[in-house]
Amino acid sequence: MADTISIEAKARQLGSILKDDQVSILAPDRVAYSRDLWPRGLIEFSAGRPAPSPPDVVVWPETTQDVVHLVEWAAGTETPLVPYGGGSGVCGGAMPRRGQVVVDLKRMDRILELDGPNHRVRVQPGMNGWTFEEVLGRSNLTMGHFPSSIFCSTVGGWLAARSAGQASTRYGKIEDMVSGLEVVTGKGEVIRTGNPGAASLGPDWTQLFVGSEGTLGIITEATLKVLPAPEMRVYRGYGFDRVSAGLEAIRRFMQKGLLPSVVRLYDEFDTVIARSGAGRGSEADTLVKEVMGRLTHLTKPMLPWVKVAALRAALSKPGWLNKLADGLLPKLTGQGCLLVVGTEGRPRLAQAEADRIHEEVLRAGGRDLGPRPGEHWEKHRYSVSFKQSGVFYSGGFVDTMEVATTWDGLLRLYEAVKTAVSPLVFIMAHFSHAYPEGCSIYFTFAGSSDDPEQGLKLYDQVWNTALAAVTRAGGTISHHHGVGRSKQAFMVEEHGDSLELFRMLKRVLDPKEILNPGKMSL
Amino acid sequence: MIGTEEDVTQDLTRAVGGEHVSSRPSDVMFYARDCWARRHLMPDDPPRHPVWVVWPGAASEVARVLQVAGRHELAVVPYGGGSNLVGGAGFGDDRPVLVVDTKRMSRVLELDETSLIVQAQAGITGGDLDEYLRVRGLFVAHMPTSLSQSTLGGWLATRSAGAFTSRYGRIDRVCMGITAALPDGSVVRTRVAPRRATGPDLMHLFLGSEGALGIITAAHLKVVRVSKVRVWLAGGFKELSQAVAAMADIMSSGTRPVVASIADPVVALRHSGQPSFMLVCSFEGDGELPVVQRDEARLLVLAHGGAYLDPAAASGFWTARRNDVFGDIIARAESRVIGEVDIGADWRHLAMVADDARGRLESMGCGVTMELGFFGLEGGALLCKWQLPEISDPEDVGLRQDEALAIVLDAARRGGGAVAHHRGVGRQRSAAVRAQLGNRFDLFADVKRQLDPKGLMNPWLTEGA
Ligand SMILES: Cc1cc2nc3c(=O)[nH]c(=O)nc-3n(C[C@H](O)[C@H](O)[C@H](O)COP(=O)(O)OP(=O)(O)OC[C@H]3O[C@@H](n4cnc5c(N)ncnc54)[C@H](O)[C@@H]3O)c2cc1C
Ligand SMILES: Cc1cc2nc3c(=O)[nH]c(=O)nc-3n(C[C@H](O)[C@H](O)[C@H](O)COP(=O)(O)OP(=O)(O)OC[C@H]3O[C@@H](n4cnc5c(N)ncnc54)[C@H](O)[C@@H]3O)c2cc1C
């Protein structure tokens, strides 16, 4: 039915529900909203391909009632809606298809209530991440949620995709910070979940809506926990000979109940190179050799994580690499793996916690590298992620895969993925969201090919290979980026029988399948 | 019901073995009750009781039992320890009732000491699970007062809270995944990962569902290493509101107390010698950190006008509270005049709700004690206990108990709080909770219709919805 109404007719109908400036069918808008930051789309984009499937209409609701009216209209006309926050998602979750209507929530961006005594804030979903922290900071508060995409993502997108910030080890992921939601379901019903010590009958609906990526409801408000802004931060760096030793150190201090804000362990890039070099003469090998040839004189003393950045740079503009390396070389200390740990909070607590962690790390064989690696990390915490475009322009691609599992299988998962994809692309990893029960692994892979067609093929092959390896090794296919379109083929492996429960929820909450269809394997 | 009682008995026997099915009067009478005190004040003539009790030994047997129940359209009541205080597992239905006691499913299935995760069957009692772990230097970060009388499945089904909740969260934060038998006779398992971003956390469908959606047969729980150091903090406050404000600051300070409570002056007096509201916290770990945490928390106590009390008062309170359990149960079962309920409120309203409830109960002539605990970042629970003045007419006692309960639930409502915090809903307060949940209750009923189209499981919970 959606297809039988013309774009103009849709716009007219929507114009009678919303104000004129809340509806657009202008080409620039439709093109702008045809993609999110799924790197596959960026490969196409850099190859100059037109937008694959621009939405018919883009709308900007301003109130919950607007959203209700939109959903009612969508149900009546059977037109799918695609909720859209910052569009920073990397899995195609906010990507529309032909005939669909994009619902951008960024105009719903107000703080509704900042309730300091109860440590919570009620906020609309379109609130920008960085603005949000700035406003909270004025009251000496923080959410503690700092995704690398903080400048370009929204509260609603975080909740919809179960986002994790850089300090998640202390503050939790977004699902740990949310205590209530207002959601408009596919039936146009407004559900308010949670309340302090909520009456306890029935499911915790908050935990069922969080992570549903717009498929069960459109989030129109959230109640989030806030904490006093830390008065002090302590950073320390440690060196390890092997990843396994670094992981063991993390496991030990996490299981002692210690709660660092930042935990980042970077793997030995050199091992990966060695592995790829021993490969089958594939293009990736050639690329590796070529790039490594240029890098040799620099990489020897470099810390692995610097190499990640350096490699990306090498794939695009070597000049860039030189700049990076110049700035960093003096700080580089040697081979092996770097572990950065940060603690924060009230000064005495932050210091005491750092000291306890220090003892545990040394006991586990870590070498003290002092405060500088951590301070350096803090200074550049948001920069690396945004400097990918050069890679794409140079015909290559970079993508990241964040997986997780419990400690008993972590190293196995890490090895399995590396082994599976290293014949195809450069791959490296860091471990950055730790729990007493396990940890996430954040893989970065970079590939290159002569033409976009092959690039896309390679890209798909890498993802299929990697995700298959993850599920075989018992890991989860996503720790915090979500599923969207890119990982949906693996939802059955991910959830087994329990996927049917998700589908059951879909039937209950969105019987007409108008909310973000074609995603998450629903 | 479809078929005769004999048919059903035969089918159940095939499902779990004859020695695990019973219709003996002693069994069916026993399973007609749980720890809901009000039930004992109700006339029971003719006596209402289930027709069958079964004790399945594994998920597959539970699934077979549910197939039998479906075939014959029975009402099914899952039963763990029967320790709930709200009439959740006691039965009552027009249809013949089948009680499924989970306690034969009492094994620890797997302990992963590397990841600190245990998987156990749902019928294991808290006491057995705790013992299994303690000898290995571990414990489940969940310690309801009813530890040894309640089961893992019961905790999950009621989303229970315990003495360590302020640090580790309620059971839904301790649980990492579940296995459940569904009313259609299938078995479903949610997958375990530290965290994931692949859709809703599906185990939450069953947590807090009080047996209405299926029977939880096993679960993965986080476990914690027993710490070497535990230090106590006790603070005395003239006003409850001061103690609450201090606790709110402690909860957001990063000091991470494990035990955290605020006791009434009457109770505090016994331990501290002071008739003031007593804030109690423990800090645990090893090395210096717990001491630093305690010292930081102490500053907050002082900042809110509290007096620093001997820490022995805090540990004394904790020990007494733990040892009180058995006495408590007996007292509750025998007494008709004692009542108790758990409600929730945010920091701003906790003291107000407590004062409101206390004032109105006292004007009814009740003796009242309160304990605040089970804190989160936004607030916590209020356990309100009352003792009615002696009344001789048993029917009158029942009415007065209802009146007292209504007062406390109303106080919660007036303070924007929850009429049921962590002890389940059952029959005791299903009407109040329904009203509070609004369309969320209808959603719950929708989900139930999907998973349990024949309405087998604890059908009264969603009746009329
Ligand atoms: C450079 C870079 C760095 C990144 N770093 C991180 C990181 O550190 N941690 C992390 O977790 N992620 C990271 N991401 C991924 C991305 O930022 C997150 O997934 C983020 O949560 C998406 O938010 P958004 O507002 O951009 O959502 P969008 O991309 O607009 O949408 C994401 C999904 O949520 C749905 N959605 C959006 N708003 C709503 C709503 N109100 N109601 C219902 N559904 C909605 C959309 O339909 C879509 O399915 C990074 C991305 C980039 C490009
Ligand atoms: C002295 C005393 C102290 C208490 N202290 C606390 C406390 O500190 N914190 C607290 O939270 N509660 C407390 N309670 C209440 C009670 O112990 C909890 O509600 C407990 O979780 C019930 O567990 P159970 O195994 O006894 O469940 P039951 O009472 O047998 O059942 C409770 C409900 O869950 C359902 N159910 C049971 N097992 C399953 C299963 N496997 N699958 C699906 N549904 C199931 C039943 O049908 C019923 O609706 C206390 C009770 C007493 C008597």
CA atoms of B17 and B310, how far apart (whole Å): 58
* Average of per-residue pLDDT values in chain B: 93
The structural domains of chain A, with segments of one domain joined by +, span: 2-107, 111-228, 232-472
Give the strand pairing for A101-104 and A81-84.
parallel
CATH fold match for the domains B5-103+448-462 and B108-225 = no
Please state which of the ranges A193-202, A222-231, B49-58, B180-189 shows the lowest mean pLDDT: A193-202
Task: Say how many C-beta atoms besides its own lie within 10 A of residue B51's C-beta.
Answer: 18
Span B417-454, pLDDT tens digits = 999 999 999 989 999 999 999 999 999 999 999 999 99
Span A73-108, pLDDT tens digits = 999 999 999 999 999 999 999 999 999 999 999 999
Which candidate in A201, A411, A521 is best for mutational testing of the B interface (most B CBs within 10 A)? Answer: A201
Is the pLDDT at A273 greater than 70, yes or no?
Answer: no
Task: Say how many C-beta atoms besides its own lie within 10 A of residue A268's C-beta.
Answer: 22
Chain A contact for B111 (CB, 8 A cutoff): no
pLDDT of residue A394: 66
Is the pLDDT at A47 greater than 50, yes or no?
Answer: yes
Non-local (6+) Cβ contacts of A46 within 8 A are: A392, A393, A395, A452
Is the pLDDT at A306 greater than 50, yes or no?
Answer: no
pLDDT of residue B328: 62
CATH 3.50.50.60 is held by the domain B108-225: no
CATH number of B5-103+448-462: 3.30.43.10
Buried residues in B114-130 as b, exposed as e (16+ CB within 10 A): bbbbbbbbbbbbbebbb
Residues β-bridged to residue A399: A445
Q: How confident is the model at residue A3 (pLDDT cuts 50, 70, 90)?
A: low
Per the CB < 8 Å rule, is B208 touching A437? Answer: no
Mean pLDDT over A57-84 rounds to: 98
Span A449-500, pLDDT tens digits = 878 888 899 999 999 999 999 999 999 999 999 999 999 999 999 999 999 9
Q: How confident is the model at residue A376 (pLDDT cuts 50, 70, 90)?
A: confident
Give the strand pairing for B117-121 and B138-140.
unpaired
In total, chain A counts a number of residues equal to 522
Whole-number Å distance, alpha carbon B145 to ligand 2 midpoint, is 11
Non-local (6+) Cβ contacts of A482 within 8 A are: A89, A91, A93, A160, A161, A162, A211, A213, B197, B198
Distance from CA of A253 to the nearest CA of B (A): 11
Contacts of A225 in chain B (CB under 8 A): 377-378
pLDDT of residue A371: 93
10 Å CB burial of residue B387 (0-12, 13-18, 19+) is middle
CA atoms of A58 and B335, how far apart (whole Å): 66
Which candidate in B119, B209, B378 is best for mutational testing of the A interface (most A CBs within 10 A)? Answer: B378
Is the pLDDT at B399 greater than 50, yes or no?
Answer: yes
The structural domains of chain B, with segments of one domain joined by +, span: 5-103+448-462, 108-225, 229-322, 325-424
Whole-number Å distance, alpha carbon B83 to ligand 2 midpoint, is 5
Is the pLDDT at A509 greater than 50, yes or no?
Answer: yes
Q: Is this prediction's pTM over 0.90?
A: yes
Does the beta carbon of B211 sit less than 6 angstroms from any atom of ligand 2? yes
CA atoms of A181 and A203, how far apart (whole Å): 14
CA atoms of B328 and B340, how far apart (whole Å): 11
Distance from CA of B428 to the nearest CA of A (A): 12
Nearest one of A60, A57, A2 to A30, comparing CA atoms:
A57
pLDDT of residue B252: 97
Which of A190, A201, A437 lies at the smallest CB-CB distance from B117?
A437
Mean pLDDT over A28-47 rounds to: 90
What class, spelled out in words, does domain B229-322 have in CATH? alpha beta
Considering the segment(s) A111-228 as one domain, its CATH architecture is 2-Layer Sandwich (3.30)
Mean pLDDT over B126-132 rounds to: 97
Contacts of A505 in chain B (CB under 8 A): 200, 205, 447
pLDDT of residue A4: 74
Span B5-43, pLDDT tens digits = 999 999 999 999 999 999 999 999 999 988 888 887 877
Mean pLDDT over A327-353 rounds to: 77
Mean pLDDT over B69-86 rounds to: 95
Q: Which fold has domain A232-472?
A: Vanillyl-alcohol Oxidase; Chain A, domain 3 (3.40.462)
Per the CB < 8 Å rule, is B292 touching A117? Answer: no
The residues lining ligand 1, judged by C-beta closer than 6 Å to any ligand atom, are A 36-37, 82-90, 93-94, 105, 125, 147-149, 153-154, 156-158, 160-161, 163-164, 213-214, 218-219, 385-386, 480-482, 484, 516
Q: What percent of chain B has pLDDT over 70?
A: 97
Residue B73, CB-side half-sphere exposure with 13 Å CA sphere? 7
ipTM of the complex: 0.96
Which of A117, A204, A478 lies at the smallest CB-CB distance from B248?
A117
Considering the segment(s) A2-107 as one domain, its CATH architecture is 2-Layer Sandwich (3.30)
Residue of B158, B328, B329, B374 best suited for mutating to test ligand 2, as the one with most atoms within 8 Å of CB? B158
pLDDT of residue A93: 97
- Opening angle at CA B329, ends B323 and B331, nearest 5: 105
CATH number of B325-424: 3.30.70.2740
Which of A190, A228, A352 lies at the smallest CB-CB distance from B289?
A352
